[in-house]
Amino acid sequence: MICISNLYSFNLSQSLKKQRWLWLALLSTQVVLFSSLSTSAVPSDIPVRVNRWLAIESLEGNVTFLTRSASRSARLGDRLQTVGDGVVTATSSEATLEVDTQIGSIEVAEQTSVKVRALEVTANDGRVTRLQVDRGRVRLQVRPFSNPESELEIETPAGITGVRGTDFGVNVDANGKMGVATLEGNVLTSAQGENVEVPAGFQNVTIPGEPPLEPIPFTNEPRLDYQVDRVIRRGIRRVVFNGQVDPTSSVTIKGEPQTIDRDGRFQIVFPAPSRLRLSVTVTTALGKTQTYDLQLL
């Protein structure tokens, strides 16, 4: 004779075991589904923030080190490692930045502002470096990248310059015009949804609000052509100085940067004294400089 209570206990135990297995199976399914969704929701090429930096390798003159909250005189070894960190050089001052990956260096000329826009690493270990240059001149000497996801870009008011290993210079004047000259390698200039390549031995100009101009041959000579006219405006005698340089060069007069148009032309108007001397400094995008001491009258 079978004991009814024992039979009832056996059936209850079997039922609890089945419920336990069902719960374990459901939990395993949820874990697998969650893992699958998490993997598919995060692309593998999203850049991530890591401990990256650019260090001040050399400096001369008056160089300011910027952070989000403060500014002070720059020191050797200072690191730009957060978005917004930067350096600003005064007249007759300069600095050199070394990239943490040892891919090359960035020369920061006088009266130049450089700030960090991004310092990232992709999931495949590509290094992404983006810098902002609002004014002044920088020269980059960068070896070819081994990782196809690595990038180095210079953002200016006129557009973006991107490289994967080259020797080139960028000039940004007071109106935001960007001049690029390539000594070695290949540079890509981008603006208004258009891209223009600037190969070795060529240069191009990008005007804010316009696509990049087509490249033209580059000589790296700080030439100056000029013409002096005497005029009378509103009954006052004036001296009009019309100058022309290479369109990617910069011009300073009495320490003041001049605005250069897309063809390299600029104009200055002076009162007409009995004698007038003028010192004009021309610097190419790659840093070659010449000063012209002119006797105008």
Distances (CA, A) of 90 to 108, 112, 113, 180, 263: 11, 7, 9, 22, 27
More confident residue, 116 or 4: 116
pLDDT value at residue 110: 96
Return the SS3 of 147: coil
Strand partners, 72: 65
pLDDT tens, position by position, 55-94: 999 999 999 999 988 999 999 999 999 999 999 999 999 9
Please state, in angstroms and rounded to a whole number, the distance separating the CA atoms of residues 168 and 221: 15
Nearest to 287 by CA among 132, 169, 164, 111: 169
CATH topology for the 225-295 domain: Immunoglobulin-like (2.60.40)
pLDDT tens, position by position, 216-245: 999 899 999 999 988 877 778 888 999 999
pLDDT value at residue 49: 52
Amino acid identity of residue 95, one-letter, is A
B/e letters for 280-292, b = 16+ CB within 10 Å, e = fewer, are bbbbbbbbeeeee
Please state, in angstroms and rounded to a whole number, the distance separating the CA atoms of residues 56 and 50: 19
Considering the chain, what is the average pLDDT of its residues? 85
pLDDT tens, position by position, 237-272: 888 999 999 999 999 998 889 999 999 999 998 888
The CATH number of the structural domain formed by 48-217 is 2.60.120.1440
pLDDT tens, position by position, 116-127: 999 999 999 999
Please state, in angstroms and rounded to a whole number, the distance separating the CA atoms of residues 246 and 177: 13
pTM (predicted TM-score):
0.80
pLDDT value at residue 1: 43
> Would you say 236 and 271 are in contact if contact means Cβ atoms under 8 Å apart?
yes
Amino acid identity of residue 18, one-letter, is K
pLDDT value at residue 216: 96
Please state, in angstroms and rounded to a whole number, the distance separating the CA atoms of residues 246 and 109: 18
For the chain, what are the domain ranges?
Answer: 1-42, 48-217, 225-295
